[in-house]
């Protein structure tokens, strides 16, 4: 056996060991939905650090809304959409789309019906691993000891390249069909948006889609129960998304906030709209032209809130690098190429806090640093 082959086996083994440690088995958990029913005070391990950043919700300061006109776009409208999406993605990292042609009511109803099932029924689908590798119902995403617990339960589904429908809930009966339909619709919409984003930086329409290759897509449904002390906890800690592009359905209850000029801006829940945000890989691929921005979720005293977040990224063994076409004297290379699997492991190990890691040092060791450009 040649030396490099032995070396490859050894490093594959090491990587598997590392993965096992990070994506460790999930211990039994109490759904937050159950805690919320019985407690008058929140347990200590859910109390989030105090945040001094003010919240603004003024008219005129809100995430841009882009009208997709059911994709019946004249060349002029097409140009407008490209311009609006590219501007929003570099200034906000977030935008909402309306008239996108996707039926969002069915998957939202089916998901809410799932979370309203008795605890015993939901626990049949309890996630077996932390992180973003196995389908299932759970509450904790990271196994880091110091990760603050979120006032949130979730249902995670892998939807591309493989969909293991046998693992998906059988209740409510229409769940699988509704969510599988949403996954297909979101794949199509994500590809169209990637086309607009490519054109927005003068690259061929299929440029970013090709960079992602066969998409790795997942759907994370977040359920934020009403909370006896909503000001002490967070539904989601401030974080940036680690994938390429996130497509999100809100349910009409406010809660999502995005960081803009050091203030939290509420992302208004527009009925039927889809919120889209640039995630870390696309910031990296676009060499910083598009920004993966920090956001968080606040919870309510009495009303639960539900969101459905769909992550579009590349396969775990892909390497991702800034587009050479977007590097020149005026725009020096800001990021080091990264292996997506390593990147996700680093994020899961740390838990969803702060700006995710971006590889910015220029040697070849996979060393992740907190990225602090913005
Ligand atoms: O619940 C929301 O509105 C946002 C959730 C989120 O940020 C995420 O799933 O990454
Ligand atoms: Fe997020």
Share of the chain above pLDDT 70, in %: 81
* CATH 2.60.120.330, domain 41-315, yes or no: yes
Return the SS3 of 281: helix
Q: What does the mean pLDDT of the chain come to?
A: 85
Residue 346: is its pLDDT beyond 50? yes
- How confident is the model over 237-247, as pLDDT tens digits? 888 888 999 99
Mean pLDDT of 12-25: 53
pTM (2 d.p.):
0.88
On whether the CB atoms of residues 219 and 247 are closer than 8 A, the answer is no
Confidence of residue 202 (pLDDT cuts 50, 70, 90): very high
pLDDT tier, 176 (very low <50, low <70, confident <90, very high otherwise): very high
Least confident of 214-228, 256-270, 332-346: 332-346
C-alpha pair distances (Å), 215 with each of 156, 166, 244: 17, 21, 10
Ligand 1 atom nearest to CA at 239: 7
Is the model's pLDDT at 177 over the cut of 90? yes
Residue 164, token pair as written in the block: 């293991």
How many Cα atoms sit within 13 Å of 309 on the Cβ side?
24
User: Which residues surround the ion ligand 2 when the cut-off is CB under 5 Å?
Assistant: 241
Tell me what pLDDT residue 374 has.
29
Which protein residue has the closest C-alpha to ligand 1 atom 1? 307
Contact between 187 and 102 (Cβ < 8 Å): no
Q: How many helices (H) and strands (E) does the chain have?
A: 9, 17
CA 121 and chain centroid, separation:
26
Distance from the CA of 218 to the center of ligand 1, in angstroms?
13
Q: CA-to-CA distance for 343 and 154, rounded, in angstroms?
A: 22
Q: Please give the ipTM for the structure prediction.
A: 0.99
- For 296, phi then psi, to 5°, come to -150, 175
pLDDT: is 272 or 19 the higher one? 272
pLDDT of residue 117: 97
Are the CB atoms for 137 and 171 separated by under 8 Å?
no
CA of 236 to the centre of ligand 1 (A): 7
Pocket test of ligand 1: the residue of 141, 295, 300 to mutate, having most ligand atoms within 8 Å of its CB, is 295
Poorest-confidence range of 106-115, 220-229, 352-361?
352-361
Residue ranges per structural domain of the chain: 41-315
Report whether pLDDT(363) > 50: no
Separation of CA 238 and ligand 1 centre (Å): 10
142-158: average pLDDT: 80
User: Tens digit of pLDDT for each residue in 36-86?
Assistant: 787 889 988 888 888 878 887 666 678 999 999 999 999 999 999 999 999
What is the pLDDT confidence band of residue 105, given thresholds at 50, 70 and 90?
Answer: very high
The ligand whose atoms approach the alpha carbon of 277 most closely is: 2
> Residue 285: pLDDT band by 50, 70, 90 thresholds?
very high
One DSSP character per residue, 297-343 reads E---SS--EEEEEEEEE--TT-EE---GGG-SSSS------EEHHHH
Q: What 3-state class would DSSP assign to 44?
A: helix
Give the H or E element holding residue 97: strand 94-98
Q: Answer whether residue 9 shows pLDDT above 70.
A: no
Give the integer Cα–Cα distance in Å for 229 and 203: 49
User: Lowest mean pLDDT: which of 17-21, 166-170, 268-272?
Assistant: 17-21
How far is CA 170 from each of CA 103, 106, 198, rounded to the nearest angstrom? 21, 16, 39
Residues in the ligand 1 pocket, defined by CB under 6 Å: 220, 222, 236, 241, 248, 250, 255-256, 295, 297, 307, 309
CB 300 within 8 A of CB 228: no
| Probe target for ligand 1 pocket from 217, 236, 245, 344, with the most ligand atoms within 8 Å of CB | 236
């Amino acid at each position: 056996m040649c030396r490099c082959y032995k070396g490859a086996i050894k490093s594959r083994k090491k990587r598997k060991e590392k993965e096992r440690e990070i994506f460790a088995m999930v211990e039994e958990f109490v759904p937050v939905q159950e805690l919320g029913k019985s407690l008058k005070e929140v347990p200590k391990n859910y109390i989030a650090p105090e945040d001094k950043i003010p919240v603004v919700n003024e008219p005129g300061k809100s995430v841009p809304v882009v009208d997709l006109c059911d994709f019946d776009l004249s060349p002029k409208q097409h140009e407008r959409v490209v311009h609006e999406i590219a501007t929003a993605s570099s200034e906000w990292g977030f935008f909402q789309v309306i008239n996108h042609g996707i039926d969002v009511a069915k998957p939202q109803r089916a998901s809410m019906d799932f979370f309203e099932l008795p605890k015993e029924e939901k626990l049949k689908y309890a996630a077996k691993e932390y992180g973003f590798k196995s389908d299932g119902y759970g509450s904790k995403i990271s196994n880091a000891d110091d990760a603050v617990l979120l006032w949130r339960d979730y249902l995670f589904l892998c939807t591309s390249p493989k969909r293991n429908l046998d693992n998906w809930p059988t209740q409510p009966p229409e769940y699988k069909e509704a969510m599988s339909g949403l996954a297909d619709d979101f794949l199509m919409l994500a590809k169209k948006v990637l086309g607009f984003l490519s054109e927005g930086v003068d690259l061929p329409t299929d440029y970013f889609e090709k960079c992602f290759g066969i998409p790795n897509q997942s759907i994370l449904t977040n359920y934020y129960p009403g909370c006896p002390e909503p000001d002490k906890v967070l539904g989601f800690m401030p974080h940036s998304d680690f994938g390429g592009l996130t497509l999100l359905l809100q349910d009409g209850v406010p809660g999502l906030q995005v960081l803009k000029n050091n203030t939290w801006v509420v992302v208004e829940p527009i009925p039927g709209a889809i919120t889209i945000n640039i995630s870390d890989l696309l910031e990296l691929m676009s060499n910083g032209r598009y920004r993966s921005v920090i956001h968080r979720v606040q919870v309510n005293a009495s009303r639960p809130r539900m969101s459905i977040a769909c992550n579009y990224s590349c396969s775990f063994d892909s390497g991702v690098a800034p587009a050479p076409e977007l590097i020149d004297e005026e725009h020096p290379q800001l990021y080091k190429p990264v292996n997506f699997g390593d990147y996700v492991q680093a994020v899961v190990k740390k838990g969803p806090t702060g700006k995710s890691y971006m590889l910015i040092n220029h040697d070849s060791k996979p060393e992740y640093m907190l990225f602090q450009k913005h």
